[in-house]
Amino acid sequence: MSRNQWTTLDDRAVATARALSMDAVQKVGNGHPGTAMSLAPVAYSLFQRFLVHDPSRPDWLGRDRFVLSCGHSSLTLYVQLFLSGYGLELKDLQEFRTAGSLTPGHPEFGHTTGVEITTGPLGSGIASAVGMAMAARYEKGLFDPQGTTKLFDHNVWVICSDGDLQEGVSAEASSIAGTQELGNLKVIYDDNRISIEGDTHVSFTEDVSARYRAYGWNVIDVAALGDGNVDRENLEKAMDSAVAETKKPTLIRLKTVIAWPAPKLRNTAKSHGSALGAEEIAATKTLLGLSPDLDFQLPEGVLEHVRQVIARGKAKSAAWDVEFSAWQKANPEQASLLARLQKKELPAGWEKSLPVFPAGKDIATRAASGKVINAIAEVLPEFWGGSADLADSNNTTIEEGHSFLPATSAMKDADPFGRIVHFGIREHAMGAILNGIALHGLSKPFGGTFLVFSDYMRGSVRLAALMDIPVTFVWTHDSVGLGEDGPTHQPIEHVASLRLIPNFAVIRPADANETTAAWVEVIKRQKPVGFALSRQNLPVYDRTSCGSADGVAKGAYILCDTDGTPDVLLIATGSEVGVAVAAAELLKADGIKARVISAPCLEWFAEERDSYRESVLPSSIKARVSIEAGVAQGWREFVGDAGEIISLDRFGASASAGVLFKEFGFTPENVAAAAKRSIAKAGGNK
């Protein structure tokens, strides 16, 4: 790679970056200065000399992606965004970790220009970077499967820490990356051997290089210089080697000394997460050749020098534009697809190809979802995904989609641009990888496992919601209705727990047509969602006598109504809607008018206008019963003081669905009895 010769101005810029990191933490009184100090030359080389980017076009399609997996060291990124001209200015560094600033404690996607991903939970960044690298390959297959251009070839660079590589999610994802031969993934591991508790050897002693070689990675070890500083020359040689390696992901294991060159606090745990103090900062600035008395100083010529990266970036993106224009003319079909995906548009009438299920034949919602997934795949080439080794149970396989595997794979049906991702039994990594795919920007990912195992991936689910990215989690085997596998596999608290995540929608459809309607809404909304789907068959409702499944888009709707004002409202989700329908018939025989409300998505219902919610759940009707085979939490809000909650607040058992539903009270008779109790409490005379 051709680069400008390193000069004394580059040395001054690195020294400035170290000092700005110290000053920012000292000013606010908290933060993580040590890693940002030692990583300053690493990040500087990356942003100034290796990363393909254009600070004037932060969303340029041809850019490399950068992930700071050790998000606590956010100043490592913020300082480079400032120096590179991404819009951050000196005042933003001075406002570090303060209310309303562009420089929060951890990098936040969508908040600060140039931040590609929210990081902080250790391990999640490198795991999502695997997803970005996978997405880049998949998109290459959409636009240039024959490999006629380099337009869609770019790298994903990561800086990670000891803590990242201790987390299990990074190991899960790194194993997948090796199997997938993601040669576009370049990870720089900051091996400083310090964490909050001190020397990491109290808990972390394995040979990381050997572990990554065993994963199938290209591993390069770079020692520190004798004084503890980063060996920049050998690091850049390693980075050149990483760029040249296109068949394997690369791990550069870089030895550093945290807080270098602080005279007293280098290589200490205190420098990890605390301000260094005025005396130590002054002494360090002296060692760096800076004024010990000036804060947030910018030596003469430094900013002008580093901002030249903008011109270099513009030149790169302009050359890319020329080639891109030629590609558009030569490939009109692919160019049209790309334009649609960039605009986040859908083909006209795409949803008309999705299945409508006839009444009279029972079908599990997981099976219905599988049919919908395949129908969507027929019309949306950007739609792809897989499962944590449960595809046949989750119904997440795209027929004739081929397995997403490198061209060298000996596995049957392998295709580097395949649409079926085999995540292996790695739920957390699957979630993080899906996040990375969504963040990459052009495709629509989904991933499946059993609902009970959403526990394993909750951190990734929460980050999807926090970043507000369109990831679809397909969770099946949604209740004790899964039967004989027993309590280890029967979710009880999971639906209620997932509903607690802000900005996340949980969808539990009652039948096959609700499942179709929900998928349509998911694709349209482009928001983070999770399906909770049944293992067991459920009746398909006759929509000529029941409310239209289009009501799913509103989150809850009237499925079965009565003449006149109802005496009681029965609110149910998923398989329990059928119990509510049967209970309404029993109540009708006793002269009690019951309205059955299917509520597949309480989050969507909450977004509706007050007038619509009132039309479904009239406030004047106090007699209400909720029916859901999970914990009661959350339902009191809907049923009120006079309402009854049919719930399951204990673990399940190993038996058939029919036996368990009867044992735990999910029967029409029990619901009807609860309705009568609620009517009595509400002051009714039935």
Tens digit of each residue's pLDDT (9 = 90 or more) over 532-552: 999 999 999 999 999 999 999
Cα 658 from chain centre: 36
* pLDDT above 60 for 131: yes
Q: What is the pLDDT of residue 3?
A: 87
| Region 283-300 average pLDDT | 98
CA of residue 467 relative to chain centroid, distance: 7
Tell me the residue ranges of DSSP E strands in 423-537: 444-450, 472-476, 505-507, 529-533
pLDDT class for 671, splitting at 50, 70, 90? very high
Rg (CA), the chain: 28
Q: Which residues fall within 8 angstroms of residue 122, CB to CB, at 6 or more apart?
A: 69, 70, 71, 161, 163, 164, 166, 167, 170
Cα separation, 47 vs 63, whole angstroms? 12
pTM: 0.98
- Domain 551-681, architecture per CATH: 3-Layer(aba) Sandwich (3.40)
Q: How far is CA 220 from CA 51, 61, 235, in A?
A: 19, 29, 9
Q: Does residue 422 register a pLDDT over 90?
A: yes
Of 247, 270, 248, 245, the closest CA to residue 259 belongs to 270
The torsion angles phi and psi of 516, rounded to 5 degrees, stand at -60, -50
Bond into 263 cis (ω within 30) = no
Averaged pLDDT, 441-447: 98
Are 475 and 467 in contact, with CB atoms under 8 Å apart? no
Please, what CATH class does the domain formed by 350-533 belong to? Answer: alpha beta
Q: What is the pLDDT of residues 89-122, one digit of tens each?
A: 999 999 999 999 999 999 999 999 999 999 999 9
Using one digit for the tens of pLDDT, what is the confidence trace for 218-269? 999 999 999 999 999 999 999 999 999 999 999 999 999 999 999 999 999 9
pLDDT recorded at residue 632: 98
Residue type at 176 in one-letter notation:
I
Q: Which residues contact 475 (CB under 8 A, 6 or more apart)?
A: 448, 449, 450, 451, 453, 454, 494, 530, 531, 532, 533
Looking at the chain, the number of H-run helices and the number of E-run strands are 26, 20
514 is an active site residue: no
Q: What pLDDT is stored for residue 220 in this prediction?
A: 98
Query: 442 pLDDT exceeds 60?
Result: yes
Q: Where are the domains of the chain?
A: 8-314, 350-533, 551-681
Asked if residue 211 has pLDDT above 60, the reply is yes
CA diameter of the chain: 91
Q: Which of 321, 438, 452 is nearest to 384 (CA)?
A: 438
- Does position 684 have pLDDT exceeding 90, yes or no? no
Model confidence at 456: pLDDT above 90:
yes
pLDDT score of 1: 62
Q: What is the pLDDT of residue 2?
A: 72
Which CATH number does 8-314 carry? Answer: 3.40.50.970
Q: What is the DSSP letter of 111?
A: T
* CB distance 547 to 560 below 8 Å: yes
User: In Å, what is the CA distance from 290 to each residue of 286, 294, 307, 631?
Assistant: 6, 8, 20, 61
What is the pLDDT of the chain when averaged over all its residues?
97
Decide if 8-314 and 350-533 have a common fold.
yes
Tell me what pLDDT residue 650 has: 97
Q: What is the band of 503 on the pLDDT scale with cuts at 50, 70, 90?
A: very high
DSSP state of 538: B
The answer on pLDDT for 176 being more than 90 is: yes
Nearest to 638 by CA among 571, 544, 549: 571
Q: Given the residues 427, 521, 628, 644, select the one marked as catalytic.
A: 427
Q: What is the distance in angstroms between the CA of the first residue and the CA of the last residue of the chain?
A: 83
SS3 183: coil
CA-nearest of 604, 624, 504, 478 to 551 is: 604
**pLDDT tens, position by position, 509-540:** 999 999 999 999 999 999 999 999 999 999 99
Q: Percent helix, strand and coil across the chain, each rounded to 5? A: 45, 15, 40
Exposure b/e, 527-553, CB count within 10 A at least 16 = b: bbbbbbbbbbbbbbbebeebbebebbb
Q: Which pair of structure tokens corresponds to residue 421?
A: 């991702």
Contact status, residue 638 vs residue 610, Cβ threshold 8 Å: no
Query: pLDDT for 27-72, tens place per residue?
Result: 999 999 999 999 999 999 999 999 999 999 999 999 999 999 999 9
